[in-house]
Structure 1
Amino acid sequence: MPDQLNDLTPKIAIIGSGFAGISAAAYLAKKGYQVDVYEKNAEVGGRARQVTTENGYVFDMGPSWYWMPGVFEKFFADFGYTAADFYELELLDPGFSVVFAEDDALDIPADFEALCSVFESLEPGSAIKLKQFLEEAEFKYKVGMEKLVYKPGLSILEFADLDLIKGIFKLQVFTSFSDHVKKFFSHPKLIALMEFPVLFLGAMPEDTPALYSLMNYAGLKLGTWYPKGGFGTVIQAMRTVAEREGAVFHFNETVTNLKVEHKKATILSTNTISKKYEGIIAAADYHHVEEKILGSEYRNYDEKYWDQRILAPSSLIFYLGVTHRVPRIEHHNLFFDEDLKQHAYEIYKDPKWPSKPLFYVCCPSKTDPSVAPEGHENLFILMPLATNVEDTDALREDYFNLIMDRLEKYTGDPIRQHLDYKRSYCITDFISDYNSYKGNAYGLANTLMQTANLKPSLKNNKIENLFYAGQLTVPGPGVPPSIISGNVAAQQLIKYLNT
C-alpha cells in the first residue's frame, strides 16, 4: 500500500468487482491512486461469487475451469506474489471426461503421451496430427496471450508489430475453426473433443476463427487445474492483493449515475453516496453502463448496435447437494451424447430452448472434500442456452428432469431421490444479479467481426476519463481475458492521467 495518500492523490472509481474490476483496482492502487470499488451485490466476485449453504456445501456460482495458469501467475507476480501464496492448485487427471453415450465415455488424461495414445486408439495416425495441431496452437497461444490480448484495440497501428505481421497467416484469423479441425481429424469423437471449447467462446465452430485453437493448447497441453476451495479462493486472493495495495471495496452499492462536465466524469453516485473522481473504470456490464448510468448523450453505441452483436450463450445452471457419492463421474464431465451442431444452431442461429441439449457436470467434491459435507457430493450442472429467450420456473424444471434422466441413466444412480440442496440459475438471474445484457453468461461471441479492434471499445469516446473492462470489451470472454482486460484498462487510464 502506498505510504502517502492525501487529498491531492487522484481518486479512481471501479464499477463492479468481478475479475476485471479487481484486476484494474489492484494495478491502479499499486500506482498510488486512491481506488474505490463499487459492487451492487453483497459479496465480491461478480459471476465468480461463491455461496455457502447452511448444510455445508460451497458452490462456485460461475467459472469452474482453471485454464491458462500463466495468466493468474502473471497477475500475482506483478505484485510480488505467486498463486501458491494464496491457494493450492491441483492438476486434474483426467483433466475432464467426455460422455458420448450411456456406455461410452472418453477420459482426457493429463499426461500428453497418454493423450496421444487415446487419439491413436480412435484414429490411427492421429497422434502425429495432434502434435502438429498443437504445435500450431502453441504458436497462436504464445502470440495471442503474450501480445494480442494486451492490445487495447484503439488503433489498427497496434498491430504494426513485426512478429504479428510475420505470423499473421499462422494465426489463421480468417480460417474457420471447424475447417481447421477437420484438416487434422476425421473421427467424430475427436472432432467433438477439439470443438467443445468453442461452444463457450460463443459461436458455431464454422463461424469462429481458427486462431482459437489456442484454447485446445491451453486445455490439452497446459492442463486443467483446480484451486482448492474453489474459484472463490482465486477471487478472494485477488481482492487481498488489491486491498494490500490500498483499494477499498464497497458492497451493496449500486452505481446510478455519472455526472459529466467538460467531457470528464466528475461525480459518481450510488444508491447511498455521491463522490468526486478523476477517473472511472466501468467493469460492470458495458451495455448497462451505457444505457442506465450514462444515458444516450454519452454512449459509445446505440441500441441498434448492441442488438446486432452476436452474444456468447447464457446458461441454465443447477447447484445440487447429494447425500451420497455419485459413481462414474469425474471432476469435469461433458455430456456430448446429443448433436453438438444442433444444440449450437439452437443457440446462435435459431435461438430457443434446445430440443436435445448438451450439458456439463462439475463435481468438485471428487477433488476437494471441503466443498461438501463428508460423504456427500457437490454437483454444478450447466446447459448452454440462447440469450434473450423466455425463462420460467416451469421451463427450468422441465430441463432439470430432462438432464437428470440422462445423468441418472449414465451413473446408474437415482440422484434426484437424494438431494438435500437444489437451486437453479438462468437468464433472469443473470439480468437481476449482473445487469447482464439479454441475460448473457459469457459476453460477446468470438467471431471474426467481433475480434480485437472490432469489439466494443475499452475507451468512452465522449468522456475522456472513462474506460471499460470485462467480457464485453477487449480481449473477450473468460476468466483469464477478464483479468487481462482489467490490467489493460488500468494502463490506459494511467496513461490518460499522466498526460
Structure 2
Amino acid sequence: MKNTPTDTGRTVVVIGGGFSGLATAGLLAVSGHRVTLLEKQEELGGRAGRLRRAGFSFDTGPSWYLMPAVIEHWFELMGTSTQNELDLVDLPIGYRTWFQSDYTPLDMPSGAGAREAFESLQPGAGAALEKYLEKAAESHHLALEHFLYADLSDPASVLDPRLLPLLPRLAPLLAGSLESFVAKRFSDPRLRQILGYPAVFLGSSPKRTPALYQLMSHLDLTQGVKYPMGGFAQLVDAMASLCKDAGVQVITGAEATGIEVSGTGANARARGVRWIQEGTQRHLEAQTVVGAADLHHLETGLLPPEYRSSSAASWKRRDPGPSAVLLCLGIAGRLPGLSHHNLLFTADWDDNFGRIHRGEDLAEETSLYVCMPSATDPSVAPADHENLFILVPSPALPAWGTGGPDGTGSAQVEAVADAALDQLAAWVGIEDLRERIVVRQSFGPGDFAQNVNAWQGGALGLAHTLGQSAFFRPSNHSSKVHGLHYAGSSVRPGIGIPMCLISAEIIAKKINGITGKGPIDPGRPAWAAAAPRTASAREARP
C-alpha cells in the first residue's frame, strides 16, 4: 500500500542510495514530503555492495549486524518491523579470534560465555569483564540519550543543563583513549585486543578513539550479534522496497553533477540538483537537498566554493580513516575451522595501526577480519562450498589501485590480497586453501574512490578520533546554504549502518520541526499515519 505525500510537504532530492540515503528518503516520504532519490550506480546500497558469481553471493561492504534496536526503530517509523521484512538469526558465536604465534582459536559468545572466555586467558578477568560491560552499557545509554540522536548543531543540545551532573563521568570517556581505558582493567594483551578491535570498525585505532566507544563491547558481548539471511543486500532491498511504497521516486544510474543554490550570504538556499543519466544532462528543482554521499565529494565536487561549509585547510587536518583491501573468495569444500565472524590479531598493534595511519606498506602479517556467512546461510554459496570475505585494513591511498577478478587487480592490491590469503591459511591450518579457490575477486582503495566517491579512498568514513567525534564531527546541516543537509558516515553521529540511519533521523527531525534529543516517537501524527505493512511483506519480495 503506497503512502501519498501531502500537498504541503516539501520537494526533496536525496543524493546517494546507500543506507543513509535510503533511510532519509523513506523517513521524509512517509512524513509527507515528495522525495526523489538519485544513485549513480545501477544498484542501490552504496558501500553495501554485492557481487554475484558462479552461484556465490557476496556482500562487499557491511557484514556485522549490530545495534538492532536502532535498525528496528527505523523500520517501525516506516510502519513495519524487521520481523516482517527480514529473516534475522542470532549467531551462537559472536566471533572467533586468533592471535599471532598462538593459533589456538578463542570463541567469543555473548553473556556468560564471554566471561568464561576472558577467565580462560586471565584469572579474574571474567569478573572484570562484568564491571567493564556494566560501564559499557552506561556509555551506550548516555550516547543514545544525549548524543547519537541529538542535533549537536543546536546550541540547546550542547548547553543542555542535564549534562552538567554527568560531566564527571563523561569527561574521561571523551578525553581519554579506548586503549588506556581498557589497559587499566585488563593486563593480558589478547583481552585488550578483543576489547579494542571495535575501533577498527570506527575507522580508527584504540589509541586514537575516545573511551566512550567502549559501548561497542556492550553491543556484541551483551546484546549479541545477528545476521540477516540472504546477506546485507537483503537489508538494502527491504529498505528500498519500503521507500518506494512510501512514494519515493528512485532513479539509479543517475550521477549528481551539481547542487544548485540561489542567493548569497545569509540568503543562500538550495534550489535543486543537476545530474546526468546515459549521457543526458538533467535537472530537478527542490526545496530541500540531502547529500547522502561522501561529504568531501558533496562539498568540493558539487558545490561552488562560496557555499562550502568546510575550508580546504580544514580538510587537510581531517583524518579519512583507513581504506581496505577486500577479497571475496568462493571455496570448494568446507572450512570447519572458521566461524561466521573471525578476527586475526597481530601482536604489535602500534606498528600495525601506525603503518595504516602513516600510509606505509603493511607488514607481511597484519590484522585481518574474515567473514564466512556460509557458516550460517546456505543461500550465499553452492552446496559443499564456502563463501569468504577477507578485509585487510589498509592506508587510505587510492594510488594503491583497484581490484579485479581472478588476480587481475593492481599489483599492490593483489600482493596484499595474496599475503592475507597465505596468512589465513597458515593461522587457521588450511594448507590447500589456494588450490580450493573457485571464485576470486579483489577490491582496493581505488574502488572506494571510484564507486562511492570516497575521500582518499576511505573504506568507512571519517575516523572516529577525539577531534572527529560528537560535537567535533561535521554537521548534518550546511552552515552556508539553507535547505541543504548531509547524512551518512562522514557526518554525525558517524560510521556504521545504525549511525547512518540515525543521521537520517536527525535530518527528518529538523525538516519536520521535531525538537528533542531522542529518537522520533512512532506515535507522532506524521508517522502514525504511515500505512502499516503486512506480515507477508518479506515473503512477497522476490
TM-score (norm 2): 0.88
Match of residue 352, structure 1, among 357, 360, 367: 360
Alignment of 1:38-437 (within 5 A): 38-53=38-53, 55-100=54-99, 101=101, 103-110=103-110, 112-171=111-170, 172-262=173-263, 263-271=268-276, 272=280, 273-348=282-357, 350-355=358-363, 356-388=365-397, 390-392=399-401, 393-409=410-426, 410-437=428-455
Partner of 1:453: 471
Match of 2:494 among 472, 476, 480: 476
| Counterpart AA for 1:406 | Q
Aligned-partner SS, 1:301: coil
Question: Following the alignment from structure 2 to structure 1, what is the Cα–Cα distance between the partners of residues 154 and 98?
Answer: 44
Q: Output the CA distance in 2 between the equivalents of 1:337 and 1:459.
A: 40
Which secondary structure state, in structure 2, belongs to the residue aligned with residue 184 of structure 1? coil
Q: Does the Cα contact within 8 Å between 2:260 and 2:272 map onto a contact in 1?
A: yes
Unaligned runs of 5+ in 1: none
Distance 2:88 2:261 in 1: 45
Kindly provide the amino acid, as one letter, of the partner of residue 396 in structure 1. Answer: V
Separation in structure 2 between the aligned mates of residue 448 and residue 464 of structure 1, nearest angstrom: 28
- Per mean C-alpha deviation after superposition, the further-off stretch among 381-390 and 419-428 is 381-390
Q: Percent identity?
A: 33
8 Å CA contact 2:89, 2:226 repeated in 1: yes
4+ aligned runs moved over 6 Å, structure 1: none
Q: Determine the C-alpha separation between the residues in 2 that align with 1:221 and 1:24.
A: 29
* Partners of 2:320 and 2:259 in 1: CA distance: 27
Q: Give 1:102 shift.
A: 5.6
Structure 2 residue matching 1:206: 3-state secondary structure: coil
**Is the alpha carbon distance of 1:3 and 1:15 closer, same or farther for their aligned partners in structure 2, counting shifts above 3 Å?**
closer
After TM superposition, give the deviation of residue 126 of structure 1 in Å: 1.2
* 1:439 to 2:457 alignment: yes
Structure 2 residue runs of 5 or longer lacking an equivalent are: 402-409, 515-525, 527-542
> 2:325·2:417 contact (CA, 8 Å) conserved in 1?
no
Contact 1:326–1:411 (Cα < 8 Å) also in 2: no
Q: Secondary structure at the match of 2:197?
A: helix
Q: Could you tell me how far apart the structure 1 residues matched to 2:36 and 2:4 are?
A: 17
Deviations 1:239-265 (A, max 9, x none): 122112111110000011122112112
What is the deviation of 1:96? Answer: 0.2
Cα deviations across residues 159-199 of structure 1 (Å, max 9, x unaligned)?
33354332233232112211110111001111111111112
One-letter identity of the residue aligned with 2:47: R
CA–CA distance in structure 1, aligned partners of residues 329 and 142 of structure 2: 40
RMSD of aligned C-alpha atoms? 1.7
Does the 8 Å CA contact 2:5/2:34 hold for their aligned counterparts?
A: no
Q: Does the CA-based 8 Å contact 1:329-1:411 persist in structure 2? A: no
CA–CA separation in structure 2 for the residues paired with 1:252 and 1:337: 41
In the aligned structure 2, how far is the partner of 1:19 from the partner of 1:225?
Answer: 18
Distance in 2 separating the partners of 1:339 and 1:58: 34
* Contact 1:20–1:485, Cα closer than 8 Å, also in 2: yes
Separation of aligned partners in 1, 2:133 and 2:395: 31
SS in 2 for 1:260: strand
Amino acid at match of 2:482: E
Q: Distance between the aligned counterparts of 2:420 and 2:5, measured in 1?
A: 56
Distance, in Å, in 2 between the alignment partners of 1:444 and 1:312 is 5
| Secondary structure of 1:456's aligned partner | coil
Query: What secondary structure sits across from 2:184 in the alignment?
Result: helix
Counterpart Cα distance in 2 of 1:413 and 1:34 = 57
Return closer, same or farther for 1:274/1:84 CA change in 2, 3 Å cut-off. Answer: same
Contact 1:202 1:313 in 2 (8 A): yes
In the superposition, the TM-score normalised over structure 1's length comes to 0.95
Local SS of the residue matching 1:243: helix
Quote the offset at 1:156 in angstroms. Answer: 4.1
Instruction: Measure, in 1, the Cα distance between the counterparts of 2:285 and 2:349.
Output: 50
Distance 2:61 2:431 in 1: 26
- Listed one character per residue, the Cα deviations across residues 433-474 of structure 1 (whole Å, up to 9, x for unaligned) are 001100001111111111112111211122101001111110
What is the letter of the counterpart of residue 60 of structure 2? M
After superposition, give the CA deviation of every residue in 1:466-492 in whole Å (9 maximum; x if it has no partner).
001111110011111011111112222
Q: Which residue identity lines up with residue 398 of structure 1 in the other structure?
A: A
Query: CA offset at residue 79 of structure 1?
Result: 2.1
Using the TM superposition, give the Cα deviation of residue 419 of structure 1 relative to its aligned residue in structure 2, in angstroms: 1.6
Q: For the residues of structure 1 that align with 2:346 and 2:337, how far apart are their CA atoms?
A: 15
Specify the code of the residue in structure 2 equivalent to 1:18: G
Deviation at 1:388, TM superposition (A): 2.4
Per-residue deviation, 1:66: 0.5
2:331 and 2:5 mapped to 1: Cα distance?
A: 52
Asked whether the 8 Å contact 2:4–2:246 carries over to 1, the reply is no
How far off is 1:4 after superposition?
Answer: 5.8
CA 1:429 to 1:127, structure 2 compared with 1: closer, same or farther past 3 Å?
same
Q: Residues 188-233 of structure 1: CA distance to partner in whole angstroms, max 9, x if unpaired?
A: 1111111111122233322221100000111111111111011111
Task: Please give the per-residue CA displacement for 1:330-389, whole angstroms capped at 9, x wherever unaligned.
Answer: 1111111442221111122x2222113111110000100000011111100000011126
Whole-Å Cα distance in 1 between the matches of residues 116 and 66 of structure 2?
Answer: 23
